[in-house]
A and B are shown apart, each in its own frame.
With several copies, the nearest count.
Chain A
Amino acid sequence: MMHEKPILIREDGLRHDGRKPEDLRPIKMRVGVLKNADGSALVEFGKTKVIAAVYGPREAKPRHVALPDRALIRCRYHMAPFSTDDRKSPAPSRREIELSKVIREALEAAVFTELYPRTTIDVFIEVLQADGGTRTTGLTAASLALADAGIPMRDLVAAVAVGKVDGVLVLDIDQLEDEYGEADMPVGIMPNLGEIVLLQLNGVLTPDEFRKALDLAYRGLKEVYRLQKEALYRKYYSGY
Chain B
Amino acid sequence: MSLTPYEFSTVPRLRKLQVINSLRKGARIDGRGFEDYRKITIELGTIPKAAGSALVRIGDTTVLVGVKTEIGEPYRDRPLEGVLQVHAEFVPLASPTFEPGPPDENAIETARVIDRSLREPRAIKLEELTIVPGRKVWIVFNDIYLLDHNGNIVDTSMLATMAALRTARLPRVVSVEGDTVIIDKSTREKPLPVQLSVVIVSVAKINGYLLVDPNIDEESVLDAKLMIGVDEKGRIVGMQKTGQRSFTRSEVDQAIELALKKAGELHTFLNQALAGR
Task: List the interface of chain A (C-beta within 8 A of B).
Answer: 1-2, 34-37, 40, 47, 49, 51-53, 55, 58, 61, 65, 67-76, 78, 80-83, 85-87, 90-91, 94-95, 97-98, 100-105, 108-109, 113, 122, 124, 126, 128-131, 183, 185, 190, 193-207, 210-211, 214, 218
Contacts and interface: CB of A to CB of B under 8 A. Distances in A.
Interface stretch (B25-33, B47-55, B206-214): B47-55
Nearest to A131: B49
B66 A80 contact: yes
B2 A202 contact: no
A181 to B, nearest CB: 11
Given A73-B4, A113-B4, A199 B93 contact: no
Contacts, number: 223
30 contacts: A34-B93, A36-B60, A36-B148, A70-B4, A72-B3, A73-B3, A80-B89, A81-B141, A82-B49, A86-B70, A87-B143, A90-B102, A94-B108, A100-B1, A102-B109, A108-B245, A129-B47, A183-B120, A190-B246, A194-B248, A195-B247, A196-B241, A196-B247, A197-B246, A199-B239, A201-B236, A201-B240, A204-B121, A214-B252, A218-B249
A81 B87 contact: yes
Interface string B68-94: 101000001111100000010101111
- Which of B2, B234, B240, B256 has most A Cβ within 10 Å? B2
A200 B225 CA distance: 12
B50 to A, nearest CB: 5
A90 B89 CA distance: 8
B120 A203 contact: yes
A87 B48 CA distance: 14
Given A73-B4, A203-B120, A1 B93 contact: no
A164 to B, nearest CB: 11
A97 B108 contact: yes
Nearest to A121: B4
B105 A122 contact: no
B1 A75 contact: yes
Contacts of B226: 199
Given A80-B143, A207-B236, A198 B68 contact: no
Contacts of B92: 55, 76, 122, 124
Contacts of A206: 234-236
Given A67-B9, A201-B239, A204-B121, A74 B3 contact: yes
Contacts of B66: 80-83
Contacts of B204: none
Given A126-B147, A206-B236, 15 more contacts: A55-B96, A70-B4, A81-B68, A81-B89, A86-B70, A90-B103, A91-B102, A94-B112, A109-B245, A124-B91, A124-B92, A197-B241, A201-B229, A207-B234, A214-B249
Contacts of B96: 36, 55, 58
A199 B105 contact: no
Nearest to A201: B239
A212 B32 CA distance: 34
Q: Interface extent on B, as a size class?
A: 35 or more
Contact of B2 (A58, A100, A129, A200): A100
Interface of B: 1-4, 6, 8-10, 46-50, 53, 60, 62, 64, 66-68, 70, 76-80, 87, 89, 91-96, 99-100, 102-103, 105-106, 108-109, 111-112, 116, 120-121, 141, 143, 145, 147-150, 182, 185, 224, 226, 229, 231, 234-249, 252-253, 256-257, 260
Nearest to A75: B2
Contacts of B247: 195-196, 199
A82 B143 contact: yes
Nearest to A34: B148
Contacts of A72: 3-4
A58 to B, nearest CB: 8
A39 B171 CA distance: 38
A228 to B, nearest CB: 18
A1 B182 CA distance: 9
Nearest to B60: A35
Contact of B236 (A47, A100, A124, A204): A204
A36 B9 contact: no
A36 B252 contact: no
A129 B48 contact: yes
A51 B147 contact: yes
Contact of B141 (A82, A131, A199): A82
